[in-house]
Amino acid sequence: MKRKIRMGMVGGGQGSFIGAVHRIAANLDGQIELVCGCFSSRPENSLATGQSLFLPDNRIYASYQEMIEKEATLPEGERMDFVSIVTPNHVHFGPAMMALEHGFHVLLNKPKDCVTTSDDPQGRLTVMDIVRNACTERIYPVGRLDRNTTGVLLLTNDGDLASKLTHPKFIKKKIYHVWTDKDVSEEDMQRIADGIELEDGPIHADAVSYATDTDKNQVGIEIHSGRNRIVRRIFEALGYRVTKLDRVYFAGLTKKNLPRGRWRYLTQQEVTMLQMGSFE
């Protein structure tokens, strides 16, 4: 059975006719449920309204700021999907803008054999198939990873943030773990660091090192370029075939404690970091 759409409410507390109308209308087709709210600018009134609606105390908030920030960090299956704002017209703007700014931001540890598109004519697994239950809003991948490249991938419905993270002016650090079909020589490691010439121009790594002390066919490479298939092409230009490629860091985000093929919501701290650009 398809789950109900989870609604949060700002305003519409006890004695509010419009608040009651919104709640009744939301319940008409049985597909929407009220899960949280800040029903009044007075915390005690908000609590009283929420309790009368049988909401748990930890989902009744003293301010819309607290509600939006805390709901944004809740896991799948709990957080609200949208906000119904039942306030006088002149105070709509604040909660509406904050709700939009806190959008939906999902971090996926992308698996192999998965394409970074919204849909695929060939019927292959897409990243959207994996995160389809994250929210009812349409979210999109920020940038692309090749079908057989694994690792950190951000998806969001915040178009401004996505543009900022992918625009050449704001390109930020990415770190990859590379496996090759043979040992990478120290001479070629130095060439990667110093820079090589590709068909679309010169490129160099910001940092490069062997990923382990024993296997010289595993390399860690740090790079800022957003050019298509850039890591694979660097190694191919030097006569190596990349057998496995994993992105372990993107725009300050890592896949720590996130198993392959799983996703999670960003924390509020991570969202703030991305919006402020306070990462390498």
List residues with catalytic annotation: 146
Cα(90)–Cα(150) distance, integer angstroms: 47
DSSP-derived letter for residue 60 is: B
CA–CA separation, 194 and 79 (whole Å): 48
- Edge to edge, the sheet with strand 5-11 lists 32-38, 5-11, 82-86
3-state helix, strand, coil in the chain (%, to 5): 30, 25, 45
The amino acid sitting at 259 is: P
24-32: long-range contacts (C-beta < 8 A, 24 or more apart)?
Answer: 26/84, 30/4, 31/4, 31/5, 32/4, 32/5, 32/6, 32/7
